Structure 1
Amino acid sequence: MAYDLEEQEKLDAMRAWWERWGTLCIVAAFVLVAAVAGWRGWQWYQGHQAAQAMGYFEALQGAAAQPGEESDARIKAASSTLRADFAKSAYTSRGVLVAAQALQQRGDLDGAREQLEWLVKADHDKALTPLARLRLAGVLLEQKKYDDALAQLNNPPASFAGLFADRKGDILAAQGQNDAARQAWSQAVELLKNDPISQVVQIKLDALAGA
């Protein structure tokens, strides 16, 4: 009898505990399961997005390696899709740089400029934005848009200061501002003194001195 009473007390205690905490336990378990499922779903989505972006990037690279107007259209189409659907993917920033270089080499300066302007404005990849600015300044130089080109070279990051100074010298020389170009190139040589590129800049300086 005492045993039955003890068992009944335990059952009553368990029933009371469940009435108080049961619903909370069920909710907590549901939240945990939902969180795990959500995390796995997010990981799958991220992997799926990365795989798709990589596919468009590879298609863009393939088109860039082929000549012809059809390839030009494929380059622009792949880049457009990357920018529209995968803007923050690392593949997109690199794909836009590939597209810009290919279009510039093919003489489509407006197309190259549009690619680089997007990359600079989006600024999704902090490591590549300075390179995009440098290349954009080069495209604008080819288009003789000197003021716009110089504007891209303001406030250079330390790691690009020498290259920015070199490009600034190119623009100033194209404008006939030889003294200012000499100053920019001299700065570039100093900043790039441990880089083989400094030898190329020095040749420009020597040519300017003999002009």
Structure 2
Amino acid sequence: MAYDLEEQEKLDALKAWWERYGTLSMVLVLAVVVAFAGWRGWQWYASHQASQAMGYYEALETAASQSGEDSVARIKAASTALRDDYPGSGYTARGVLVAAWALQSQKDLDGAREQLEWLVRDSQSPALQAVARLRLAGVLLAQQQYEPALAQVQDKVPTGFAGLYADRRGDILAALGRLDQATEAWHEALTAFGADPAAQIVQLKIDALNGA
């Protein structure tokens, strides 16, 4: 097929461009395709992981609503699976709190303590760490581990937890027989709670301590 001079010039320019940029263009196209495939693969993986974690969380909730040794075993198994296989899932920290609550309600304080200690160490869930520290202090108090309990609520009080931490600190100090310090902590709790109904409970503790 014969080409006129203008068409030949266009073909020559196209060939020259391809010789110069053709390989780079193919590499860029391939990179885009690979990146897109990787992104879609990651989406599938993340969705699959979330689905699996949700399944364990739901199993844990079901076990937590029951009682008995079989329930305890299933709670611990589901929590272990979440912690070991899906530590970054949003279901894991919440599941550990559910597990701790359920184990404590079934008088397995060592089991509850182990769950909460894991969550206190879990830097991926700072909001729930604050809850875990408060509840861990309660478990340790029940185990008469007063000094470790006090350490959980003594320093680095999270924002929004001043009243709850001070109240628990008062409970622990009262158990230690340090009554003046307990009263001081409870007064701190009253100030932090303000008009919150929880303040009434704290006031009852102060009144009981003072024989009112």
TM-score, normalized by length of structure 1? 0.97
- 2:83 maps to a residue whose letter is R
- 1:80 maps to a residue whose letter is T
Aligned to 2:210: 209
Name the CA distance, whole Å, in 1 between partners of 2:183 and 2:189: 10
- 2:27 maps to a residue whose letter is V
For residues 115-134 of structure 1, what are the structure 2 equivalents within 5 Å?
A: 115-134=115-134
- 1:202 maps to a residue whose letter is Q
Query: After TM superposition, which residue ranges in structure 1, 4 or more long, deviate above 2 angstroms?
Result: none
Name the CA distance, whole Å, in 1 between partners of 2:107 and 2:134: 18
Quote the offset at 1:3 in angstroms: 6.0
Task: Indicate whether 1:53 and 2:53 are aligned.
Answer: yes
Aligned to 2:199: 198
Quote the offset at 1:5 in angstroms: 2.0
Quote the offset at 1:158 in angstroms: 2.4
Aligned to 1:144: 144
How many residues are paired up? 210
Name the CA distance, whole Å, in 1 between partners of 2:195 and 2:163: 11
Quote the offset at 1:123 in angstroms: 2.4
Name the CA distance, whole Å, in 2 between partners of 1:8 and 1:84: 67
Aligned to 1:163: 164
Name the CA distance, whole Å, in 1 between partners of 2:68 and 2:107: 12
| TM-superposition CA deviations, 1:113-152 (whole Å, max 9, x none) | 0000000011211111100000000000011111100111
* Secondary structure at 1:56 match in 2: helix
* Secondary structure at 2:4 match in 1: helix
Larger deviation: 93-102 or 35-44?
35-44
* Secondary structure at 1:159 match in 2: coil
- 2:79 maps to a residue whose letter is S
- 2:169 maps to a residue whose letter is K
In structure 2, stretches of 5+ residues that fail to align are none
Question: CA RMSD, aligned part only?
Answer: 1.2
* Secondary structure at 1:99 match in 2: helix
Name the CA distance, whole Å, in 1 between partners of 2:202 and 2:174: 12
Aligned to 1:96: 96
Name the CA distance, whole Å, in 1 between partners of 2:93 and 2:122: 9
Name the CA distance, whole Å, in 1 between partners of 2:57 and 2:197: 31
* Secondary structure at 2:111 match in 1: helix
In structure 1, stretches of 5+ residues that fail to align are none
Larger deviation: 200-209 or 5-14?
5-14
Quote the offset at 1:27 in angstroms: 0.4
For residues 21-32 of structure 1, what are the structure 2 equivalents within 5 Å?
A: 21-32=21-32
Quote the offset at 1:83 in angstroms: 0.1
* Secondary structure at 2:84 match in 1: helix
| TM-superposition CA deviations, 1:84-139 (whole Å, max 9, x none) | 01101110000000000110111111100000000001121111110000000000
Aligned to 1:173: 174
Aligned to 2:35: 35
Aligned to 2:73: 73
- 1:182 maps to a residue whose letter is T
- 1:46 maps to a residue whose letter is A
